[in-house]
Structure 1
């Protein structure tokens, strides 16, 4: 996986924010950042040094042994050469956090902003590795035992509470977004399976058919249910029988009409024959003698 800092227009975030999010993932895995079990470390941003108005971009404190328990890494993030040079001209900013840190880091997206030869004595230098979430250490920092006093604890606790609140807000936002995405998926599924008017009409006809049969159609035969294959076979036989009966009735009616035409034709022929033979009509013949 390649991790790069892009232009603000491409990501919707400034390059410093992008670099800070990558650094967060370097210190604490994304899944652990909102884990109920905790991350084993505290990651704070924009933290003011005790007794000063100087702020560190990032302060990371290890809590578990596997996360460097008791270690305090203070990081200064720079995304432009000019900003880094201004930092060099204002050493008081780093000095305010120096005694409270195990190590002081300069973090840049690439070495064109600052290289090993540009660093003040004792500073470390990190850049994104381009592979995975872990940063590459270009220069190891000098390390010391950090000063732990009441002002530092108050500062860290105050910022930790802010981070906790922000984390809860992030969890809430993530849950809302997940619920919204799921709702949209369900809507798309419902639309994909929406019953069209033709299907509705066919279902209505099926209801009428079941009512006429006095049976329910189902995929299995059970009690008062009629299986679809049996219903189809019976309906086919019934329809074919009805069709044959209708055809027979039509044929009989056709033949009856043909017989009527033949009878009418024979009657006219008989009349014509009598007339031709000048035979008297039946009612004009002389009566038989008694």
Structure 2
């Protein structure tokens, strides 16, 4: 049996509809691939919704996809068709997508549904069962749902790309530092090793900006300086307390010795 996790199957389905390199390009604007979309007037969510915008991408077509990666998950879907019913009027085609026909056999697919499975020889999925095709019901609630999810999807994609680029920049920076440290002054290597240890202990990377797990040098410097100043102030206060305690102990010792000397003097001398 061909096994895949739901995220793996979802990513492959995304690539089926839109090439990975087109997802943030102008070409990618010809279609939209959305995930976890709630049906208008319902709380039922589709795993994936594809909306064609250009004629070459099936303009106006709305493909709703349910992903199933196990037999038990597929059986629950058959026992509860409410999710499909919620999206049915708003879709051009309704698909079930599975890793293989071992998970979803063709003979178990309800009438009107389609079945797709990954093609090991290419990006595009293989159609096992063709779905019924119809004109989707277009309502204001549907348009608002698609627009909201489209914006969220774009923002998340841009954020993911930004994080990836920042990580690549940091990795490249670290690589260049290591290369330079191996070729130049041992003192440089020592300082870079100290920086790497500092980043490890802080749990943050020191970079050009402060975002997520990265802090800029100025912010890191101020935070460390504040901590050291506070630690120094606490140490000084403890030293002062210790000095005062030592002085009191010495004074108590002297008083104890003086009292002992007084007690040792005969009573006749005390009254003389």
The TM-score with structure 2 as length reference comes to 0.65
Unmatched 5+ stretches in structure 2: 188-272
Partner residue in 1 for 2:72: 82
Query: Quick check: 183-192 or 79-88, which moved more?
Result: 183-192
Distance 1:122 1:193 in 2: 67
Contact 1:34-1:171 within 8 A present in 2 as well: no
Divergent runs of 4+, >6 A: none
Partner residue in 1 for 2:63: 73
Alignment root-mean-square deviation, CA: 1.7
Query: Is the counterpart of residue 58 in structure 1 residue 48 in structure 2?
Result: yes
Contact 2:3-2:69 within 8 A present in 1 as well: no
139, 145, 154: which one aligns with 1:155: 145
Query: Is the counterpart of residue 187 in structure 1 residue 203 in structure 2?
Result: no
Partner residue in 2 for 1:33: 23
Distance 1:133 1:5 in 2: 17
The within-5 A match list for 1:1-290 is 5-6=3-4, 15-35=5-25, 38-194=28-184
Count of paired positions: 186
Tell me how far 1:193 sits from its aligned partner: 2.5
Tell me how far 1:133 sits from its aligned partner: 1.6
Contact 2:40-2:145 within 8 A present in 1 as well: yes
Structure of greater Rg: 1
Contact 1:5-1:19 within 8 A present in 2 as well: no
Tell me how far 1:192 sits from its aligned partner: 3.9
SS at match of 1:144: coil
Partner residue in 2 for 1:260: none
Q: 1:180 to 1:36 in 2, by over 3 A?
A: farther
Unmatched 5+ stretches in structure 1: 7-14, 198-290
